[in-house]
Amino acid sequence: MQTPAASHSHSNPASRLTLLRAAMRAQQIDALVVPSADPHLSEYLPAHWQGRQWLSGFTGSVGTLVVMQDFAGLWTDGRYWEQAETELAGSGIVLKKIPSGASVLFIDWLGSTMQAGQTVAVDGAVLGLANARLLRQALAADVTLRTDIDLLDAVWAERPSMPAAAIFEHGAPYPALPRVEKLAALRASMAAHGASHHVVSTLDDIAWLFNLRGADVSYNPVFLAHALVGPQRATLFVADGKLPADLRAALEEQGVDVAPYALAASALAALPAGASLLLDPRRVTYGTRQAVADGVRVIEAINPTTLAKSRKTDSEAAHVRAAMEQDGAALCEFFSWLDATLADPQRTPLTEIGVDERLSACRARRAGFVSPSFGTIAGFNAHGAIMHYHAQAGSEATIEGDGLLLIDSGGQYLGGTTDITRVVPVGAITAQHKRDFTLVLRSMIALSRAQFPRGVKSPMLDAIARAPLWAEGIDFGHGTGHGVGFFLNVHEGPQSISQSAMPEPQTAMEAGMITSVEPGIYRPGQWGIRIENLVLNVAAPSSQFGEFLTFETLTLCPIDTRCVERSLLRDDEAAWLNAYHATVRARLAPHLATDAPALAWLEQRTGAI
């Protein structure tokens, strides 16, 4: 039930925090933690769970808000520091800088700040189990941790409702295996762990397992659900009305029962004594774990589906290649238009938002396109140095004068997910621009050409990309590569090419994984440069030392050689770039046969250097 004060309009973070603090006093809560999370620990959140953003005004995808009566702080990593400083201005919220998105420094801060007899609260329904354990360990025994309350309901009068988009089948020819076979493989993995049951809450794992897709989360074709897989049948917990009748009937015929979304916790509580439940402590919430009946033996391990979906089959890889051709053709259409527009002295002023709108329109015309895979980053000059910049009406830059335009974008296609970053010159660019661009290009080439033992831990590859930059005393504040789904999340695990990721067993590189390669240089207030392709792990020749893998570059779009300082490239690096451009030209030209300007642009931009 809402408090009377919640009926009033609170349109800025400062007034919202005042309302929140009043609710905290009423509940005798000394510190409230508001994570960027939902009951599925998603990266991109349905509006219903964007409480951290609503309270703070910070729109980045990673961040944790801690509110006390005399302090409020937001912890976020280096990708968002500039953005957070701008968005938090005037809110009374202190930016707390952390070295990586995986950091839990707010937990250390709470551990050293909270005093005996005080109470820390966080909604257990959205608190990751692993973080809950760390938090309890960090807090002194005489500090109370409450996880049974969602204070947002008391203060957020216009809180959005739960999403209700329909679920649809991701059918032939795209999935490599029918869901019956995927369930059988999952049960074999469960048996290997000694588990009779398995709970899955991560939305992309569920979508992959059941060959279903939805639209409950922006940019990710997933739907809100939990799944409980038993020895013979599985149960999919989704809101009423989301599944068409024929699809629901097909699921039930194939051993998948459908139950209301809200009953997932009850089903865990009703597991029979003696059952053994497999769960992933990094992929379920504290609330989910607390729902498990006391007599059930809990086995903790990574979700088998997380490993399985990361390894694309040959047929899935073929669909991704086809999607890359469609995406590349759209990009050629866009960049040919952009060059012509920037060269026209009579043109209407072009803004960063206009760049986003035109690029989205070009993609929307391609076969199999469903939606963007994330919000486009189009940053001109200083805005390009903000790693996760998103242009807002009223503060967007006009693309005029001289400098560099960074465009990071992607598409969701029925046959795959794309993610690409390119940088193009506007007007005249300097020798320093070209030097930075060429150093980033060398870094991208270095990792793209790498050969490595099968099973090497993915974080260990990060240094290969950074080495050319480190040699010049330069570094960048984000990971070099993230996994990418198959018409699923643009960010997926378990592999991560990042200096801040732990080289754990599940991060091992295996054939079929798709990962980004995206080094960068960012000069605050001046410019940002990032070059990004997606690559596929493929087998390399074996040797007496074992099996090896290498990368096949999947992304198809020219890298703008107008920004390259040729004297800084070794001949073998230039040969790699020329070979890549020859492949891009050969693969994309057939898709541009009826678009003369785009075809001419492609031929010009893929010329050898």
Q: How far apart are CA 36 and CA 14, in angstroms?
A: 19
Check residue 443 and give its pLDDT. 98
Domain 4-155: homologous superfamily in CATH: Creatinase/prolidase N-terminal domain (3.40.350.10)
Q: How far apart are CA 264 and CA 270, in angstroms?
A: 10
Check residue 325 and give its pLDDT. 98
User: Which DSSP letter does residue 303 get?
Assistant: -
Residue 1 has pLDDT above 80, yes or no: no
What value does the mean pLDDT take over residues 286-305? 96
Check residue 176 and give its pLDDT. 86
Higher model confidence: residue 101 or residue 194?
194
Residue 8 has pLDDT above 50, yes or no: no
Q: What is the dihedral of CA 253, 259, 265, 269, to 10 degrees?
A: -60
Domain 311-605 class in CATH: alpha beta
Check residue 535 and give its pLDDT. 98
Q: How far apart are CA 148 and CA 192, in angstroms?
A: 35
> Pairing mode, if any, of strands 94-98 and 119-122?
unpaired
Amino acid occupying residue 120: V
What value does the mean pLDDT take over residues 288-311? 96
- Count of alpha carbons within 13 Å of 133, Cβ hemisphere only? 8
* Residues 462, 468, 469: CA angle, nearest 5 degrees: 85
In this structure, what token pair is assigned to residue 440? 């980033």
Question: Per-residue pLDDT tens for 29-54?
Answer: 999 999 999 999 998 899 999 999 99
Topology alike, domains 4-155 and 311-605: no
The pTM of this model reads 0.92
H-only helix segments in 220-313? 245-253, 264-269, 286-291, 304-310
Residue 14 has pLDDT above 80, yes or no: yes
Specify whether the CB–CB gap between 556 and 534 falls below 8 A: no
Question: Per-residue pLDDT tens for 502-520?
Answer: 999 999 999 999 999 999 9
Question: Per-residue pLDDT tens for 404-423?
Answer: 999 999 999 999 999 999 99
Mean pLDDT score of the chain, rounded to an integer? 94
CATH number for domain 168-309, candidates 3.40.190.10, 3.30.300.30, 3.40.350.10, 1.20.1240.10: 3.40.350.10
Check residue 115 and give its pLDDT. 95
User: 179 to each of 170, 242, 369, how far by Cα in Å?
Assistant: 11, 19, 24
Domain map (residue ranges) of the chain: 4-155, 168-309, 311-605
Check residue 10 and give its pLDDT. 56
Q: How far apart are CA 389 and CA 525, in angstroms?
A: 13
Residue 403 has pLDDT above 80, yes or no: yes
Specify whether the CB–CB gap between 268 and 293 falls below 8 A: yes
Check residue 79 and give its pLDDT. 79
Of 202, 397, 215, the C-alpha closest to 308 is 202
Specify whether the CB–CB gap between 170 and 487 falls below 8 A: yes
Amino acid occupying residue 118: Q
Question: Per-residue pLDDT tens for 206-226?
Answer: 999 999 999 999 999 999 999
